[in-house]
A and B are shown apart, each in its own frame.
Chain A
Amino acid sequence: MLSIQSDSPGNAAKRQAIRLKEDSFAAVDKYQDLVYRTALTVTGNQWDAEDIMQEVFLKYFQSHPVFQNEVHERSWLMKVTINAGKNLIRSGWYKKRTEIDWGRLTAKEEITGAERSADVLQAVLSLPERYRIAVYLYYYEELSIREIADVTGSTEAAVSQQLSRARNKLRKKLGGADI
């Protein structure tokens, strides 16, 4: 009977699997905050954000996507996170849940910064879903309107309109004078 050679396809596949696992762990360290913040913005609460984060990284781990560069990788992660969050929000059981408890967002482990930052974050997260995603991607991730349209799957005109309305709402919530 033939024995398995040291350079057999099975061993090569195993090495490949180990390498992919290491890459995935490195990706978790590198992009966990990006995915978590995006998921938090879409879902509006940390519990769902954690579930979405797990789902996104499992998908990353299992599909082994190939990226041209870091921008492409970040864009892929944001797109997948936003889609996963939207799917969750639009699911039947999610709609039947009780109203989101915004108080949870100000828990110490969630926001350790100043009161002001907590207020701003709460104001952003209280915006309608489309608006808060646009605000986060535009102001925090510094994507262009075109890039936001690509990531969210909408048009540039729609993104511009969402940003404009979101700004107005935020001014009202936070007080127009200091923003």
Chain B
Amino acid sequence: MNLKQSIKDAYDHVHTPADVTERLKQELYQKGLEEENDEVTYQAAEPQKPAIGRYFLYIAASLLLCAGGVLAAWSMQSQRVDFNPGKPTPGTVTTVTDSVQETTEPTDVQN
């Protein structure tokens, strides 16, 4: 008998003990259960998709914010006061003109 055949015969008689196989399958089964439990926990922790009501809430909140912004802008615009140091304000000009007119009128009368 040659070496190859001797070695083949020797190893052919080596088999995994049945109890080892059973234990291994049990272990794999337990691992599988643990993995499944992990997946369930993961699914529970996953954020849910927002419902349709939430979309409306987001839209309403956005509209309110926009409206607030527009109101604020309008309010600022209406209360704006132009400040031009070189030119007097319209009210003041009228008064000055009146006073000038008042002061010039007697001069004309004298002439």
Interface residues in chain A, defined as those with a beta carbon under 8 Å from any beta carbon in chain B: 1-2, 4, 10, 13-14, 17, 21, 24-25, 28, 32-33, 35-37, 40, 46, 50, 53-54, 57-58, 61-62, 109-114, 116-118, 120-121, 124, 135-136, 139-140, 167, 170, 174, 178-179
**Residue numbers in A under 8 Å from B4 (CB-CB):** 139
Mask: chain B, 37-75; 1 = CB below 8 Å from A; 0 = not: 001100100001101000000000000000000000000
Count A/B pairs, Cβ under 8 Å: 108
* Nearest CB in chain A to that of B7: its residue: A139
Are A17 and B7 in contact (CB-based, < 8 A)? no
The secondary structure that dominates the A interface is helix
B residues near A, CB below 8 A?
A: 1-4, 6-17, 20-21, 23-25, 27-29, 31-32, 35-36, 39-40, 43, 48-49, 51
Q: Looking at the assembled complex, report how far the CB atom of B24 sits from the nearest CB atom of chain A, in whole angstroms.
A: 6
The answer on a CB contact under 8 Å between A121 and B31 is no
**A109 touching B17 by the CB < 8 A rule?**
yes
* Residues A36 and B1 in contact in the complex (CB < 8 Å), given A1-B51, A2-B49: no
- 9 A-B residue pairs with Cβ-Cβ distance under 8 Å, sorted by A, are A28-B21, A32-B16, A46-B17, A53-B24, A111-B14, A117-B9, A118-B10, A118-B13, A124-B10
Whether A62 and B36, one on each chain, are in contact in the complex, defined by CB atoms closer than 8 angstroms, is no
